[in-house]
Amino acid sequence: MVFVKKKTTVPVSALYMFAVWCLISMTAHADACLECHSEWEDNDRAPSKLISTDVHFKAGLGCADCHGGDPTLEDMDDVRQHKNYLGVPEPEEIPLFCAGCHSNPAYMIKHNPSLSTDQFDKYKTSVHGKLLLGKGDTKAANCVSCHSVHDIASPRIPTSTVYAVNIPTTCAECHGDAGYMAEYKIPTDQYEKFAGSVHGIALLERNDLGAPACNDCHGNHGAIPPGVTSISAVCGLCHSLIADEFSRSPHKKAFDDLGYPECEGCHSNHLVQKPQHYWMGTSDSSICVNCHAFDDGTIALTSAETMHKSLVDLHDAYTRAESRTNDGELKGMMVTDLRFKLKEVKQFIIKTGTAIHSFNDSVVVKTAEPGLQLANKVYESAAAKIDEYYYRRYGLGIASLIITMLAVLLYFKIKSIEK
C-alpha cells in the first residue's frame, strides 16, 4: 500500500467507512428508538426488554410502525414534534388502532394468511367493546389488556397471555378483582369456581388442552355470556350426545320458556362438578324437587325415582364387581378379562348418564340394563376365581392326606423289616 498524499487518502477511507456504516445500519433495524430506550430502561417488563420476543417485531415492524414518527431521530424533542408521531395511544383508541392492520384482509394476507380479520367487528358486539367504544368506559378490556403489547405471542405458544392454560388468569386480572369490578354488579368469583371445576382441574392442573377455557364458552373477541337458550348448544360442542338428548327432552322447551338456563340450571356454569346421583331423584337434596312436586300433574317425580334407582343400582353393581375383582387379583388370580368387562360396564355408566338428559325413565332403564347384567356377571366370575383360591387348600388337604397315609405305612414297613 503506497501512501499517497493526505488529500486523496482521507476521502477514500471516509467513503469506505461511510459505506460500511450504511450497510450496517441498513441491515440492522435502523431504530434509534430501540437503541435509546434499551439504554435507559431498567425494568424487566419495559418495552425494550420484551420486544425481541414480540411477534410483530419478529415480522419486521419497528417502534415507529405503531407509535409513528421517525425512527432515525435521536432527540426526544425532535421525535415528539414529528408530524406523524402518535406516542402512547389512549385505551379507547387502541381497538381501532390495531384494527388498522388486523381488519385489513389485503394487508394481513401478506403476513399471516390464515389469521382471521374479524376481531374488531366481533369486539364491537362484545360487552367490553360496547363499554369502551359505546360508553367510553376505559376500565373495559381492550386489545392490549388481554394480548399484552410489547411481547405479544401466538395463542399457541405457552408463554402467551392468551394460551389456553393462561386464559383464566388473564381474564381474572379484572374479573377476579372485586374492587375493580364493584360498579358492574357481576360476581368476581368465577376463577375460583372454575379452578375447582372438572374443566378447571383438567385445564389448569392436567394441562388438558381439550378442556374449555373462558373463551371457549364466552367467545374471545366477541366476549359475552351465552344466551339462556343457547347454553346447551355451547356445552353441546363437546357434550354433543347429551345436548341432543336434552334438546329432544321436555325440559328444553320448558326451560327456554321460563328463561331457566339450560345446562347451567343443574350443572352450574363455572363450578361444574362431577354429577352426583342424588341430584336426580325425589329426596330433599335433589334438584328435581326445586321445580316438581308429586301432585304437579306430571310424571316427573315418579320418573325421577325410577331414573335415580337405575343410576344407583348400576353404580352399586359396578362397585361390587370391581371390589370382588380386586380381591381376586390380590389372591393372585388373573383378572384381565374381568377388567375388560368392567371397562365395558363403565361405558354403560357413561351412556346411562347421557340417557338421563332425555328425562325419560324407560330410556334410562333400557340403557342401564345391559350394564347391570354385565356387572353381575363380572361379580359371579370374580367370586368363582376366589373359590378357586380356596379350592387349592382343599386339593392340598387331599394330597397331604394321601402322602401322610403313605408315610405312616412306610414307617410301619420299616419297623416290620427291622423286626
Partner 1 sequence: MPEIDQSKRNLLGWLLKGGFIAFLGSVFYPIYRFVIPPASGEANVSQIKLPFKLEELLTDDKKSRIFKFGRELGIIIVTDKDEVKAFSAICTHLDCTVQYREDLGTIWCACHNGHYDLEGRNIAGPPPRPLKKFAVHIENATGEIFVSKT
Partner 2 sequence: MGINAETNRSIWSRFYGWVDERLKIGTLIEYMSKKEVPSHSHSIWYFFGGMTLFFFIVQVVTGILLLLYYRPGAESAYESVKFIVSEVTFGWLIRSVHSWSANLMILAAFIHMFSVFFTHAYRKPREMTWVSGVLLLGLAMAFGFSGYLLPWNELSFFATRVGTGMAGAIPVVGNFLMKFMRGGENVTGATIGRFFGFHVAVLPGIFTVLIALHLFFIQRQGMSEPLEWAGKPPQQKKYMVFFPNFLLRELLIWLILLNLLAVLAVFFPDGIGPVHWPLGQKADPFAPPPPVIRPEWYFMFAFQALKMIPAHILFIEGELFGIFVISLAGAAWLIAPFFAARRREGEKSPAMVIFGWIILIFFIVMTVIGYFLE
- Footprint of partner 2 (CB under 8 A): 332-334, 392-393, 396, 399-400, 403-404, 406-407, 410-411, 413-414, 417-418
Closer residue to partner 2, CB minimum distance, 93 or 388: 388
List contacts with partner 1 (CB under 8 A): 208-211, 237-241, 336, 339-340, 343-344, 347, 350, 354, 398-399, 402-403, 405-406, 409-410, 412-413, 416
Contact 292, 304 (CB under 8 A): yes
What is the closest distance, in whole angstroms, from the C-beta atom of residue 341 to partner 2 in the complex? Answer: 17
Closer residue to partner 2, CB minimum distance, 6 or 415: 415
Helix, strand, coil content of the chain in percent (nearest 5)? 65, 0, 35
Q: Which does 4 bind (CB under 5 to 8 A by kind): partner 2, partner 1, none?
A: none
Q: Which does 241 bind (CB under 5 to 8 A by kind): partner 1, partner 2, none?
A: partner 1
What is the closest distance, in whole angstroms, from the C-beta atom of residue 325 to partner 2 in the complex? Answer: 13
Closer residue to partner 2, CB minimum distance, 12 or 334: 334
Using CA atoms, how far residue 38 sits from 27, 52, 73, 118, in Å, is 19, 11, 15, 35
Closest-CA residue to 378 (of 312, 310, 326)? 326
Q: Which does 165 bind (CB under 5 to 8 A by kind): partner 2, partner 1, none?
A: none
SS3 343: helix
Give the residue ranges of DSSP H helices in 47-118. Answer: 47-50, 55-58, 63-67, 76-81, 94-102, 105-111
Closest-CA residue to 36 (of 63, 56, 67, 66)? 63
What is the closest distance, in whole angstroms, from the C-beta atom of residue 399 to partner 1 in the complex? Answer: 4
Q: Which does 240 bind (CB under 5 to 8 A by kind): partner 1, partner 2, none?
A: partner 1
CA 281 from chain center: how many Å? Answer: 31
Closer residue to partner 1, CB minimum distance, 28 or 237: 237
Closer residue to partner 1, CB minimum distance, 24 or 410: 410
Contact 204, 195 (CB under 8 A): yes
Q: Which does 398 bind (CB under 5 to 8 A by kind): partner 1, partner 2, none?
A: partner 1
Contact 202, 196 (CB under 8 A): no
Distance between CA 393 and CA 331 in Å, rounded?
Answer: 13
What is the closest distance, in whole angstroms, from the C-beta atom of residue 402 to partner 1 in the complex? Answer: 5
Closer residue to partner 1, CB minimum distance, 130 or 339: 339
Q: Which does 118 bind (CB under 5 to 8 A by kind): partner 2, partner 1, none?
A: none
What is the closest distance, in whole angstroms, from the C-beta atom of residue 208 to partner 1 in the complex? Answer: 7
Running DSSP on this structure, what letter comes out for residue 157?
S
What is the closest distance, in whole angstroms, from the C-beta atom of residue 415 to partner 1 in the complex? Answer: 10
What is the closest distance, in whole angstroms, from the C-beta atom of residue 419 to partner 2 in the complex? Answer: 12
Burial of 329 (0-12, 13-18, 19+ CB in 10 A): middle
Closer residue to partner 2, CB minimum distance, 18 or 411: 411
Residue holding cell 352399586?
Answer: 316
Q: Grid coordinates representing 149? A: 403489547
* Maximum pairwise Cα distance, the chain: 141
